[in-house]
Amino acid sequence: MTIDLKLDGVYKRYRIKQAETDPRSAMGFVRRIRSRFLHRQDFWAVSDLNFEVPRGQALGVIGHNGAGKSTVLKLVSSITAPTRGEITIQGRVAALLEVGSGFHPELTGRENIFLSGAILGMRRKEIHANLDSIIDFAEIRPFIDVPVKRYSSGMYVRLGFSIAAHLNPDVLLLDEVLAVGDSAFQQKCIQRILELKHRSITIVFISHDLSAVERLCDRVLVMQRGNVIFDGGTGESIAHYRSLGQFQARSMVNPLAGVREAEITSLAFLDGEGNTASSLLTGAPLRARIGYVAHERIPAAGFSLFFWGLDTRLHCQFSTFLSGPRLDLGPGPGMVEFSCEELGLQPGVYVVDVNMERLGKAENLDYQSRCATIQVSAGKRVRGEFFSPHSWRMLEQGKAR
């Protein structure tokens, strides 16, 4: 069995600067000068990675934000070097870490195919041979000689992925590249990756989209805090990932009373039948339950859910302050529930923040960042960035004469 990729005792360390002091004060200036000579804090992005990827295998890498997934791809693609350990690669490597990387806004689509293709490692002869196929796959032939600065975001990412989809490497590295375009184009991208897989190209795929991981990968690594904590079949690994505790004990402390006030302890999503769900449908019923513990009485408390897309944009917020009862929390554990009859989020993968705060005060009792991941699949198909529940009724109708 030929091994295309091997990591042996790989570590990656970053040096973290100390907190900046106030540059407006003389003492702050002196401290900043002194800090240059002080020891900086070490942060180990990944630690003691040991795994092999045989030729033709599609390996998935999953984990919560900050687990070290993207660092793995940067190490394998030689964007950064390991602090310690050895990485062995057989054959030609192509990395698609950002769709549309290398595009110049003033150049046309055709010119950017040559520019971006060269950056991604394609030879000019390869680009010429695949030019028509790249244009047709991106579905932008009428606009191929228009500067890309005039492209819509959808046209831009379709062209970027189309170029990458025509690479012919031995090892292909993919980082969240399927979170592009509409659902129809995403299916087209998945089909293209499956074609590459059937040609025995070794694939390393990082994504929060567990359905895509399940469909594309033969084996999956689960990462947490820079370490591989599970290595197994796709189904087993996804089940292990979903069972991980995602909450951190970061309760606020009252500096005057010297006691802990409250903390968020859990977040669960439920479908319309009340079953725990990690995947929902656009337009389907949704419930979310937030568990908490209050260590003292908290009058006028509130909760919020923030849904962030993989494009790093905040897509929506649900809050008791916007729509909900006034919450007067007594000491002890409790739970609040959010519900909506029709979910408005479009298909995609979203990471969720949970906030607990006091009404009328800029004071977080607890804030759990990126503590859950939820996948929304196609349900009610609508155009645009969101589905808004609505109803119609007939007001007037023509009468036969």
pLDDT over 90 percentage in the chain: 23
Q: Once rounded to an integer, what is the mean pLDDT over residues 211-228? A: 88
- Determine the distance from the C-alpha atom of residue 155 to the mean position of all C-alpha atoms in its chain, rounded to a whole number: 21
Give me the pLDDT at residue 98, please.
66
Question: For the segment 55-85, what is each residue's pLDDT rounded down to a tens digit?
Answer: 989 999 998 777 888 899 889 988 889 999 9
Structure tokens at 81: 């070097």
The domains found in the chain, sorted by start residue, are 56-72+89-242 (3.40.50.300), 262-377 (2.70.50.60)
Position 19 scores a pLDDT of: 54
Residue 262 above 70 pLDDT?
A: yes
What residues contact 143, with CB distance under 8 A and at least 6 apart? 109, 150, 151, 155
User: In the prediction, which pLDDT does 181 show?
Assistant: 58
Q: State the alpha helices, DSSP H only, in 217-315.
A: 234-242
The answer to whether residues 359 and 318 touch, using CB atoms and an 8 Å cutoff, is no
317-360 pLDDT, tens digit per residue, is: 988 888 777 788 888 899 999 888 888 888 877 888 899 888 77
pLDDT of residue 366: 87
Q: Are 281 and 376 in contact (CB under 8 A)?
A: yes
- Beta pairing class for 227-233 and 219-224: antiparallel
Average pLDDT, the chain: 82
Mean pLDDT of 262-284: 83
Residue 26 pLDDT class (50, 70, 90 cuts): low
Query: What band does 401 get if pLDDT is binned at 50, 70 and 90?
Result: low
pTM of full prediction above 0.75: no
Q: Contact, 307 vs 350, CB < 8 A?
A: yes
Q: What is the distance, to the nearest Å, from the Cα of residue 269 to the centroid of all Cα atoms in its chain? A: 18
| Cross-sheet strand order for the sheet of 3-16 | 41-54, 3-16, 84-89
- The Cα 62–Cα 223 span in angstroms is 6
Please check whether residue 171 is in contact with residue 88, taking contact to mean a CB–CB distance below 8 angstroms. Answer: no
Output phi, psi for 40, to 5 deg: -90, 155
User: Tokens 């337009």 sit at which residue?
Assistant: 283
